[in-house]
Amino acid sequence: MQISKMKRIIQFMIVFMVLVSSTPLLLAQEDTIGRETSQEQWKWKEAYQPVSISLGYDTLTASPVSNNREDQPWWEIFGYEKLNTLVELAMAENYDLKAAENRVEESRAGVQWEKSLLYPSLSLNPSFIRQEFSANRPLPFDIPAQRIRNNTYVLPLDISYEVDLFGRIRNDVAASQFNWQAATALQKASGLSIAAEVARNFVWLLTLDSESEILERTIQTRQENLEIVRTRYQAGLTNEIDLQRAQTELSSVAVQLKNNQLQRTEIELALALLTGQSASEFAVEPAGIQYLAPLIRPRNQVGLSISRPDLQAATSSVGAFEKQLKSIQKERYPRLFLDGSAGLLAGQSEQIFEGDSRNWLVGATLSVPLFEGGRRNAQVALGRAQLERVNNQLKQQELNAHQEVEREMSNLLRLHEQLLSQQEFLTAAQRAAALSQQRYLKGLVTYLEVVDAQRIVLEAERLSIQLLGQQLLSTIDLMVALGGDVGTLEF
């Protein structure tokens, strides 16, 4: 019995030791799972296949090489010197950005104001009073009064000071410092927004210029086709319908080119406004898309709240409201004021600097709130509600920030896939157009087949340009969603 009991005890101890030893492993596994979740890798972070786009006589194959400096301005990764110049000009001349800088200065001055309340207030208030008393003034005794003139010369040095017994003033100072940090972050957010808007407008210009190059080349081609059709028509080898079709297609492309030029003017005017320049003197030289969009991937989500200035501003606002709530709560506590004055007091000017003219006083006031109809409690409730509101707004902004990054990464992936398919479509359309032209010259088909084939090529080339522009725009939006921090990227 004792042996079997001992066996059971030993078995129980073995099982207990196994359970105890396995508990840390289970906890470690749970912790690992938690850490993997906390890493929060991006959903759409995938490698891209190489792609090259042929547009007419040009082939776009690679993105510009980046310096990969963590302090590199994000717009430099696109490789356009003109874009760098425009953004730098906007950073220096844009009036909205200057207004944001003024708000930062206002917040800095607010910090200095709050800090000044931590120190005594010292002032020199010299005064002279000449007074004449009425002969009919009331007196405590029934005696006749006389008219009396009196001079008073006062040269006092006054001092007043509120003792920060419970840290209310220090909380106000901390709140103003958080507001200053928020204003600084919002200034960065304004700069990021303005730079992004300049980059978007610049990309729209590149897209329109590339489309215009294609349209001009198409006009030249269709002008040549028109001459061929006219020659064949005059020789009796084709009918008038083919001639009118050729003329119609030429005119249609010319109209599209004029529309592009109109849109380009509107974008130039918008860039002039963004860069703080006069619209009458501002112009951007035509330049089409020269590079594919840089292939960038953010590392992880950990640094998003650090790199995005709007999240920095929201976090600082939460800190400001926390300090303001503490300050409001301490409004219910007693407040101690110290006052004093020392100086000279005399009735005649020649006596003002005599030793007997010295005058001083010292006093203290303790202000204790007793009844205010619930005003303080209402202020505290209001402060708590405001703090909860900004906390919820911060959480929503963080969700929005992650959603923006995921959306732009998904857009870039899908656009990249579209470009791969679009290149096949464009190559096939160009080959079909060339074959249709040869068949028409041999008299095997009507000009309608040539028109349809060339129209498909034009649409394919314009769609390729538009996809390239959308890829550049999505890359800009991704950089904005990441806070414009190149150090968070993988190239």
**Would you say 272 and 264 are in contact if contact means Cβ atoms under 8 Å apart?**
no
* Topology, domain 53-119+165-334+374-490: Outer membrane efflux proteins (OEP) (1.20.1600)
Tell me what pLDDT residue 34 has: 35
Tell me what pLDDT residue 145 has: 75
| Per-residue confidence band for 12, with pLDDT thresholds at 50, 70 and 90 | very low
pLDDT in tens, 417-463: 888 888 888 888 888 888 888 887 877 777 778 777 888 888 888 88
Task: Report the chain's mean pLDDT, rounded to a whole number.
Answer: 82
Alpha-carbon Rg of the chain, whole angstroms? 40
**Would you say 314 and 183 are in contact if contact means Cβ atoms under 8 Å apart?**
no
Say yes or no to pLDDT of 320 above 70. Answer: yes
Average pLDDT over residues 317-325: 94
| Per-residue confidence band for 302, with pLDDT thresholds at 50, 70 and 90 | low
pLDDT in tens, 375-396: 889 999 999 999 999 999 999 9
Tell me what pLDDT residue 58 has: 67
Which carries the bigger pLDDT value, residue 223 or residue 42? 223
Tell me what pLDDT residue 303 has: 66
Tell me what pLDDT residue 46 has: 59
Tell me what pLDDT residue 110 has: 93
* Contacting residues for 459 by C-beta, under 8 A, at least 6 apart: none
Residues 307-331: b if buried by 16+ CB within 10 A, e if exposed = bbbbbbbbbbbbbbbbbbbbbbbbe
DSSP string, 269-322: HHHHHHTT--TTT---------SPPP--EE--STTHHHH-HHHHHHHHHHHHHH
Exposed, middle or buried: residue 295 (CB in 10 Å: 0-12, 13-18, 19+)?
A: middle
Say yes or no to pLDDT of 489 above 70. Answer: no
Amino acid letter, 490: E
Least confident of 145-159, 178-192, 298-312, 407-421: 298-312
Average pLDDT over residues 65-76: 72
Specify the 3-state DSSP secondary structure of 41: coil
pLDDT in tens, 152-189: 889 899 999 999 989 999 999 999 999 999 999 999 99
pTM confidence score: 0.78
Tell me what pLDDT residue 224 has: 81
Average pLDDT over residues 293-313: 78
Which carries the bigger pLDDT value, residue 307 or residue 399? 399
pLDDT in tens, 340-377: 999 888 888 888 888 888 889 999 999 998 888 888 89
Say yes or no to pLDDT of 56 above 70. Answer: no
Which carries the bigger pLDDT value, residue 31 or residue 482? 482
Say yes or no to pLDDT of 199 above 90. Answer: yes
Tell me what pLDDT residue 31 has: 38
Residue 46 structure tokens? 């995938």
Share of the chain above pLDDT 70, in %: 84
**Would you say 163 and 130 are in contact if contact means Cβ atoms under 8 Å apart?**
no
- Could you tell me the sign of the dihedral formed by the alpha carbons of 409, 415, 416, 421, in that order? positive
The structural domains of the chain, with segments of one domain joined by +, span 53-119+165-334+374-490, 123-133+147-163+336-368
3-state helix, strand, coil in the chain (%, to 5): 65, 10, 25
User: Bridge-partner residues for 418, per DSSP?
Assistant: none
| Per-residue confidence band for 218, with pLDDT thresholds at 50, 70 and 90 | confident
| Per-residue confidence band for 266, with pLDDT thresholds at 50, 70 and 90 | very high
Tell me what pLDDT residue 325 has: 93
Say yes or no to pLDDT of 7 above 60. Answer: no
Say yes or no to pLDDT of 29 above 90. Answer: no
Which carries the bigger pLDDT value, residue 226 or residue 315? 315
**Would you say 202 and 83 are in contact if contact means Cβ atoms under 8 Å apart?**
yes
Say yes or no to pLDDT of 196 above 50. Answer: yes
d(CA 73, CA 484): 8
User: Could you give phi then psi for residue 263, rounded to 5 degrees?
Assistant: -65, -35
Average pLDDT over residues 468-488: 86
Say yes or no to pLDDT of 47 above 60. Answer: no
Which has the closest alpha carbon to 484: 190, 96, 122?
A: 190
- The contacts found for 67-76 with CB under 8 angstroms, 24 or more apart, are 68/486, 68/491, 69/486, 70/485, 70/486, 70/487, 71/486, 71/487, 72/486, 73/195, 73/484, 73/486, 74/195, 74/479, 74/484, 74/485, 74/486, 75/195, 75/198, 75/199
* Contacting residues for 51 by C-beta, under 8 A, at least 6 apart: 292, 416, 419, 420, 423
Say yes or no to pLDDT of 105 above 90. Answer: yes
Reported CATH class of domain 123-133+147-163+336-368: mainly beta
